[in-house]
Structure 1
Amino acid sequence: MMERPLTSTRGLTVRIRPLAALSIAALSAVLLAGCAGSAPGSTPAPTDTSAASDLCAVAVPEGDVAASISVSGEVGELPTVEFAAPLEFTTAERVVAVEGDGTQIADGDYVTYARVVYDAATGEQVQAAGFDDAPLPPQQVTIGSGADAYFGCATEGSRLVVITPESQSGGALVNVIDVLEVTPADAWCAATEPGDVFPTVEYSADGIPTVTIPEGDAPDGVQLEVLEEGDGATVEPGDTVTVNYTGVKWSDGSVFDSSYERGEPATFQTTGVVAGFKRALEGQKVGSKILVTMSPSCGYGEAGSSEHELAGETLVFALEIIEVTEQ
């Protein structure tokens, strides 16, 4: 999933999420199916301290080769892309083909986007995603993430053309990226109280939880119930936490992973898990028992947008925070 969802060296099926779906160091397999790019050359240093301006500064610089590529069609629809192959360039270039009039991306914001990729040497389309009914997992854009060089401080509704040169891990690429929606970091997958349809959990004499899924449609976003509030330290963003948990699929009620069953809690940073699990941890106290649901967009992505076995699943976790270490 994701940032990096639950991660542990022993059996945790909530696997490490690929870095940004648009990481320059390693382009997501979701889009490129084996093709990869490398750091797009040097990027300018930030010129001031505002989040948006920093993103503007670290974006790949404009260039004549990128500007020569013809892109037509409505933003959000698969574009028609024309260029004379092979394109010859040695450093990454970027142009804003269409400038949207929506919200500007700031450091930490989540971006919903669509993307089509071409082989710069042959002109052949490599892959396209996000333009139909299978949206890509939203990408968090932060300074230094790699995605910042692609998106920069673009505005919602923009169409970007980014070309990346040949590297040891893949050939030169032409990327056309549509910025469909921008969501502030503090609003993305923010936890709400449970609705009318919400799971229940019972604990055995040994403290092992059993989660029961109710009849009805799975809730959207992240819903959270504190079953028992602890009296320990509060988990802050970036802290390392140790938790026990059981993860259940809403679709069939089956357990897909459980540290209780393994007999060993898991330890990870809150910034290393999927958005829904992160929301379930930060702001809670050590000793707390929590029941949380998360829709696919806050977990491992929608079906068709990710190869992860839990893509498309609404997930339910019964978890207990054992320990926290400050960042």
Structure 2
Amino acid sequence: MRQDGVFPTPFERSAVRFRPIASLSVAAVAALLLAGCSGSPDQAQTPDAATQTPDGQCQSPLADAPAPDGLTVSGEFQSAVDVTLPDAYAPADLQRTTLIEGSGEQVQAGDVLKATFTLIDAASGEVQLRSMESAPDGMDTLISPQQIFGASLQCATIGSRTVSSFPAGALGEGSPAFVLVADAIEELPTRAEGAEVAPVDGMPTVTLADDGAPTITVPSSPVPSETRVENLIKGDGDVVQPGDTVIVQYTGVLYDGGTVFDSSWDAGTPAQFSTTGVVPGFQKALEGQTVGSQVVAVIPAADGYGDKETGTIPANSALVFVVDILGVQHAPEAAQ
């Protein structure tokens, strides 16, 4: 949940519209790589209707098309690739070609993957980003049709390599054309998986549905004066650092009465956002934790929204969150 009361949601109910950036400098690409889309608390986090056909078949945001003459990609799967572009290549359409057909499950909106990406400026042929330089085993990626990295693999199969072309302006006015090579390495869990930790007295109790969705029971004890965070599951993945982008499942309830005010589980897909873009209590619940962990956090109003009424959250409300940490994309400083 962001400090301004806007909840992160990775999908927009509209035609394909990618998150804009001003240019594809290295810094801008890093920002794009680490950023998620956002929406308001009353926007359901459901996949864009355009990603499913009436008969329920997966439909990519990018049109399947043969690679243009002169566009070649060489290099082993999940390794550095060399890309040759046609002379004066200026793609006019959003399109994707599958270069390697994987034998795994089909990638759907809302899945979380390990994947590698190589991004090339179409005009200059210069590589703008190689994700394997900072994440050689694969970058944790939330599949969203509104983000170029997710769109490049949606409806492909695990083990596939795709090459996608994006015309100038695809990321907003003034953005150049570019080419993206993506390898879908493996699917990651969409719930916390690790060692169970014994509940702590005085904290909310949590029971899990078969799919991992939590039900939270708030204790009758007074709200703590400071944010309190305890592990329910301890994962063995990467440590979340300040400024990282996390992929999470979460449910938030009011401490007073236990009413659910937001839940990615109810919305049907994980969420993605930076640790520095959320209220202080939520930030404290994330940073220092490991991927695969589940935490319960009790957040007094001072570390939440204070005396501001926000959406369905009354002023001066203490909050409780249960958060499953599914993946992390390290901030550029941490990655270096």
Q: TM-score range by the shorter chain?
A: 0.5 to 0.7
Q: Conserved in 2, the CA contact under 8 Å of 1:104 and 1:182? A: no
Is the counterpart of residue 178 in structure 1 residue 183 in structure 2?
yes
- TM-score when normalising by structure 1: 0.57
In the alignment, which residue of structure 2 is the partner of 1:260?
302
Is the counterpart of residue 9 in structure 1 residue 21 in structure 2?
no
**Bigger CA drift: 196-205 or 111-120?**
196-205
Q: Conserved in 2, the CA contact under 8 Å of 1:8 and 1:268? A: no
Is the counterpart of residue 219 in structure 1 residue 254 in structure 2?
no
Relative to structure 1, the CA distance from residue 245 to residue 213 in structure 2 (aligned partners, 3 Å threshold; closer, same or farther) is closer
Secondary structure, counterpart of 1:137 in structure 2: strand
In the alignment, which residue of structure 2 is the partner of 1:275?
none
Q: Conserved in 2, the CA contact under 8 Å of 1:98 and 1:160? A: yes
Is the counterpart of residue 156 in structure 1 residue 173 in structure 2?
no
Aligned length: 255
**1:84: how far off?**
3.6
Match of 1:136 among 139, 151, 156: 139
**1:96: how far off?**
0.6
Across the aligned residues of Structure 1 and Structure 2, the Cα RMSD in angstroms comes to 5.1
**1:249: how far off?**
5.8
Secondary structure, counterpart of 1:55 in structure 2: coil
In the alignment, which residue of structure 2 is the partner of 1:272?
none
Q: Conserved in 2, the CA contact under 8 Å of 1:70 and 1:82? A: yes
For 1:127 and 1:192, how far apart are their aligned partners in 2? 30
CA deviations over 1:215-241 (Å, ceiling 9, x no partner):
xx9534889999x895656966249xx
Match of 1:103 among 79, 83, 105: 105
What 5-or-longer segments of structure 2 have no aligned partner?
33-49, 204-218, 238-247, 269-278, 290-296
**1:17: how far off?**
8.2
In the alignment, which residue of structure 2 is the partner of 1:69?
71
In the alignment, which residue of structure 2 is the partner of 1:49?
54
For 1:149 and 1:206, how far apart are their aligned partners in 2? 43
Q: Conserved in 1, the CA contact under 8 Å of 2:227 and 2:300? A: no
Q: Conserved in 2, the CA contact under 8 Å of 1:118 and 1:175? A: yes
**Identity fraction in percent:** 19
- TM-score when normalising by structure 2: 0.55
**1:105: how far off?**
1.4
Paired amino acid for 1:100 = G
In the alignment, which residue of structure 2 is the partner of 1:34?
28
What 5-or-longer segments of structure 1 have no aligned partner?
1-5, 37-44, 270-286, 313-327
For 2:157 and 2:181, how far apart are their aligned partners in 1? 15
